[in-house]
Amino acid sequence: MLPIASTPPPCVLFEDEHLLVVNKPAGWNTHAPDRFAGEGIYDWLKHREPRWAHLAIVQRLDGATSGVLVFGKTALANRSLTAQFTQRSVRKKYLLLTDRQPAQTRFTVHARILRAGDHYITAPHGLAAETRFTGQVDPQWLKRISPGLIRPALPRLHVLIGEPLTGRTHQIRVHAAARGIPILGDTRYGGTPFPRLALHAAELGLLHPATQQPLTFTAPVDFPTDPAAALRAAFIAPTESDSFRLIHGAGDGWPGCHVDQLGAFQLSQSEGQLPLPLSQRLGSRRYHKTLVRHLRGTAGQLSPQCMAGPPAPERFAIQENRVKFELSFTEGYSVGLFLDQRDNRRRLLTGHIAADFAPLTVPGRTTPPEMLNAFAYTCAFSVCAALAGARTTSLDLSKKYLAWGRRNFVLNGLHPEPHEFVYGDAFDWLRRWARRGRTFEVVVLDPPTFSQSKAHGVFRAEKDYGELVAAALPVLARGGVLLASTNAARLEPQKFLDQIAGAIRAARRKVAQQHYVPQPPDFPICRAEPAYLKTVWLRVE
C-alpha cells in the first residue's frame, strides 16, 4: 500500500467532476511564464494527480494577488466557464486595504487601461475597464473572510471591496491608484510598502457548468500573515509533511538567507549571521550552518551549530509525504535529505510523473520493477520507490551513507534484505552491470555537482553530465524511465537537456516521453534568486 494519502493539498477549496477551485496564495503565479521558470499553481496541480491531467485555465490572478481561482476539468466546464467570464456574468469580490482615505464610500471607476512597459496606465485609447468600489463592508462577511481585520491589528487602514465588472490585467490596482487610494503594498502603483500586496480575490460566484445551479466560493485571508508562511501553507499538509524550505533567500525577501523546517527544528543558512529581524521571527529550536563556497582543501566539513533551544538528538526523524527520514546535525555539511527533491520523491511514491507521462507502474504486473539509484546518498529515492513496490539498488561511494539508507528503510517498515546497497564508483558499476547485461526499469541520476574517485577521476556536472547519461543508458531497459537531475547552478537548463539528448542520440535510442520539472514552489524563483535545480523525466525506447 502506498503511504501517501489521496487527500488534496490545503489550497483546494472545492472539487467535483467538472471544477477545481483553489485559494491561490500571494507570490505564486497562476501559470509558469516560460518552460524553465518555476511552476505556477496551475502547472503544479495539473501534473500532481492523474484526475487533474486535463485541467484548464479559464481565469487568472496576478502573482502578487491571492484568492479564489477556478479551473475547468472537463470540456463542458471549459466551455461554460469561458462563456460566463466572457459574458461578465461571473460575480467577483476582491478585498483590499489602503492607507489613504477614500473620498467616497461608494464609487465606480470607468477608465480605459493601456499597457506601458511592465505596468498599466489609464489612457483614453486603452481597453474599456470598469470597477465598483465600496467601503461599506458587511462585518459578518469580513469576519468570515479575514478575521484578522476585525481585530485592531492594522490601525489606520481602510478596508474596501473592489468588484471588477470587466477583466483587465491589474484593473483593480490601476483604478484604485487612479482614485488616489493605491493598495497597500502595491509600490508599482504608488502604494505604501507592505510585506505583500493587500489584494485578495475573496469571493467568486458562477453557475455550475453541468447543473446550472448558482455556486459561491469564498477564500479566507489574513493580510498580516507572513507571505512566505502563507505560501507554504497552501501546498504543505502538516499531517503529511513537517519538513520543507521555509525561507528561500531573495525569493522570499531575505537575500542570502535560507531556512529549512526540519520537523521540530529549523536550520538556517547564510554566509554570516542571520539578520536580526529574521532571526527574531524563527522558532525556539534552531541550528545555523555557515555557508562555505569552497569546501575543497578545508579541514573536514562544517556541521550546523545549535543556536537556540536544547540540542537535537544525534539522530531524529522527520516526515515528508508520510514517509520518514532520519536526519542528523552532527554528520557534517549535509543533514541527510535534500528538500528540493520532495516532489520527485512523491512521483516515485505514486508512480504518477506528469499529465503527459505514462504511469511508472504497469497494471497486472506480477514481479516488482527494478530501480537503480546511482548516487543514493541516504537512499531517499530508494525508500519511496520501495514503498511503491519496486526492488531497489542503491549505489554510493560512501558506506556511511548506505548504512544511513538502510536505517531509512527500517524506519518505514521496509526490510532492507530484498534490496541491494552497493558501495563503489557509479561509472565503474555502470560498466560492470552493462557487461553482465543487467538492466533496470527506472534509473535515477542525481549526482553531486562535483565529485572525485580513484576509479573515474573528477566529475563536474556542468560539463560531464552527458558522459554520465551515456554510461547509464546500457543498463536502462527498453521503454525504461530515466530521472536525470542536477543542482549545478551554472549549467543552463537547455544545455543540461542538450547533453542528455546528445547522449541518447549517440546510443541510437529515442525519447518516447519527456517531462521537465523545475524546483518546487517552496524554492521560489526570482531574478535575484534564479533557479538552480533542473530535473527531467524521460521514457527511453
List per-residue pLDDT tens for the chain, 541 residues long: 343 445 789 999 999 999 999 999 999 999 999 889 899 999 999 999 999 999 999 999 999 999 999 999 999 999 999 999 999 999 999 999 999 999 999 999 999 999 999 899 999 999 999 999 999 999 999 999 998 786 555 668 999 999 999 999 999 999 999 999 999 999 999 999 999 999 999 999 999 999 999 999 999 999 989 999 999 999 999 999 999 999 999 999 999 999 999 999 999 999 888 999 999 999 999 999 988 765 444 434 478 999 999 999 999 999 999 999 999 999 887 899 999 999 999 999 999 999 999 998 766 677 889 999 999 999 999 999 999 999 999 999 999 999 999 999 999 999 999 999 999 999 999 999 999 999 999 999 999 987 777 667 788 889 999 999 999 999 999 999 999 999 999 999 999 999 999 999 999 999 999 999 999 999 999 999 999 999 999 999 9
**In 398-421, which positions are buried (b, 16+ CB within 10 angstroms) versus exposed (e)?**
eeebbebbbbbbeebebebeebbb
Which of 285, 317, 349 is the last residue before a domain boundary? 317
Same domain, 297 and 366: no
Specify if 206 maps to a domain: yes
Same domain, 151 and 98: yes
Asked whether 520 and 343 are in contact (CB, 8 A), the reply is: yes
Distance of alpha carbon 172 from alpha carbon 441, whole angstroms: 52
Which of 283, 317, 351 is the last residue before a domain boundary? 317
Same domain, 382 and 502: yes
Same domain, 134 and 282: no
CATH number for the domain that contains residue 271: 3.30.750.80
18 DSSP assignment: S
CATH number for the domain that contains residue 45: 3.30.2350.10
Is 396 annotated as catalytic? no
Specify if 371 maps to a domain: yes
Specify if 81 maps to a domain: yes
Catalytic annotation, pick one of 16, 34, 43, 62: 62
Same domain, 208 and 248: no
Indicate the pTM of the whole model.
0.93
Same domain, 311 and 353: no
Same domain, 121 and 253: no
Same domain, 162 and 297: no
Phi and psi dihedrals of 347, rounded to 5? -65, -35
Identity of the amino acid at 43: D
**In 226-263, which positions are buried (b, 16+ CB within 10 angstroms) versus exposed (e)?**
bbbebbbbbbbeeebbbbbbbbbbbbbbbeebbbbbbb
Same domain, 535 and 429: yes
Q: Comparing C-alpha atoms, which of 323, 303, 432 is closest to residue 382?
A: 323
Distance of alpha carbon 480 from alpha carbon 443, whole angstroms: 8
| The three-state (H, E, C) secondary structure of 99-147, written as one string | CCCCCCCEEEEECCEEEECCEEEECCCCECCEEEEECCCCHHHHHHHCH
If one counts the domains in the chain, the total is: 3
- CB atoms inside a 10 Å sphere around CB 103: 9
The C-alpha cell that represents 340 in the structure block: 528540493
189 DSSP assignment: G
- DSSP, collapsed to helix, strand or coil, labels residue 51 as helix
What pLDDT was estimated at residue 362?
66
Which residues share a beta bridge with 485? 535
Q: Comparing C-alpha atoms, which of 478, 476, 485 is closest to residue 516?
A: 485
Counting beta carbons within 10 angstroms of the beta carbon of residue 9, is it exposed (0 to 12), middle (13 to 18) or buried (19 or more)? middle
What pLDDT was estimated at residue 436?
97
Which of 204, 227, 250 is the last residue before a domain boundary? 227
What pLDDT was estimated at residue 21?
98
Q: Comparing C-alpha atoms, which of 377, 354, 366 is closest to residue 481?
A: 354
Specify if 327 maps to a domain: no
- Collect all residues with Cβ–Cβ distance below 8 Å to 116 and sequence separation of at least 6: none
Specify if 64 maps to a domain: yes
- The pairing of strands 370-373 and 440-445 is parallel
Task: Quote the domain boundaries for residue 51.
Answer: 12-227
- The pairing of strands 56-57 and 66-72 is antiparallel
Rounded to the nearest 10°, the torsion over CA 306, 307, 312, 314 is: -10
Q: In angstroms, how far is the first alpha carbon of the chain from the final one?
A: 29
Same domain, 223 and 243: no
Specify if 244 maps to a domain: yes
Specify if 254 maps to a domain: yes
Specify if 325 maps to a domain: no
Same domain, 241 and 201: no
What pLDDT was estimated at residue 150?
66
The C-alpha cell that represents 161 in the structure block: 471591496
**In 115-148, which positions are buried (b, 16+ CB within 10 angstroms) versus exposed (e)?**
eeeeebbbeeebeebbbebbbebeeeebeebbee
Phi and psi dihedrals of 522, rounded to 5? -85, 5
Same domain, 375 and 285: no
